Amino acid sequence: MSEPDLEDLEIDLVLEALLRRYGYDFRHYTRATLKRRLEKRCQAAGLVHLSDMVPILLRDRDFVDLLLRDMSVVVTEMFRDPDFFRELRSKVVPQLRTWPYLKVWHAGCATGEELYSMAILLTEEGLYERSRLYATDFNSQALATAREGIYPLDRVEKFARNYRQSGGMASFSDYSMARYRSVMLKPELRKRVTFATHNLVTDGVFGDMNLIVCRNVLIYFDKVLQNRVLELFRDSLCHLGFLCLGNKETLEFSSVAADFEVIDREQRIYRKR
């Protein structure tokens, strides 16, 4: 057996152990993502081969949690891609105003920065008090950070700059408090948020959403899984509900392309037909 084939077999064994022992299904993540993240955990644990992880995975839950943390996508910041939030204000908020009650799902919310960005935007647009936000991720540690809303103080300057560029109507300091070497977002931004563990790969529909935001998560999935998740989003949206993806993601050529109209092609904002 050639060396590349052996590596693929080792990856398959690790994925099978995770699926059959714990129910986590990573089989449709892109191969490059899997290889990079599994190798990271293998090296950190001082293991020689990827397959050396299998017996550890079967018996050591702490090791599993470390690997799940590696597999999760935790790359985010407040008002990331400010132009997206500007277009959200101008092209989506007017439609949101027409609904008496709003349900917003941040799928794959990671550590919560973009969730709180949405909470601030809805507050400034006078929509927060009639909204319910759902923040989900399969990474329990990232979700715990999101629940706390506490971030390193050295990120505040970038957060504030993004906020201004996104069309923010006040000062970022109006929504945050400095505490020692951290910044804590004000508790009012959490009062309309429900945090929950949810796995896009294996879990089901969140029903009747007006807006779903899932940015820069699908890029780690293969085409089969991308279509499955996009169908999940379609089925979770109400009629004329909005779906927002990352700037490297698209509905074009997907299984749900005909079910949506393009609102902003550059910022990947779509509306369900």
Which range marks the domain in which residue 230 is found?
A: 82-272
Name the domain boundary from 71, 95, 115. 71
Render pLDDT for 117-171 as a digit per residue (tens, 0 to 9): 999 999 999 999 999 999 999 888 889 999 999 999 999 999 999 999 999 999 9
**Domain endpoint, select from 50, 71, 92:** 71
Do 160 and 28 belong together in one domain? no
Residue 76 lies in a domain: no
In contact, 200 and 107? CB cutoff 8 Å:
yes
- Burial grade of 202 (CB within 10 A; 0-12, 13-18, 19 or more): exposed
CATH number at residue 217: 3.40.50.150
Instruction: Indicate whether 66 and 99 sit together in one domain.
Output: no
pLDDT per position as a tens digit, 106-129: 999 999 999 999 999 999 999 999
> How much is the mean pLDDT over the chain?
92
In the chain, alpha helices (H): 3-22, 31-44, 53-59, 61-71, 82-87, 93-96, 113-124, 140-148, 156-165, 223-236
| Whole-number Å distance between alpha carbons of 158 and 151 | 12
Nearest 5°: the CA angle 238, 239, 245 is 70
| Claim to verify: residue 15 and residue 117 sit in the same structural domain | no
Q: Which amino acid is at 94?
A: P
Q: Is the same domain home to 121 and 244? A: yes
pLDDT at 1: 47
Q: How many domains, the chain?
A: 2
Same domain? 53 vs 164: no
Closest CA to 202 of 24, 1, 41: 24
Q: Is 238 left (phi over 0), alpha (psi -120 to 50) or beta?
A: beta
- State the Cα–Cα distance between residues 139 and 187, nearest whole angstrom: 22
163 & 215 share domain:
yes
Cα–Cα dist 124/122, whole Å: 5
Residue that is last in its domain, among 40, 71, 102:
71
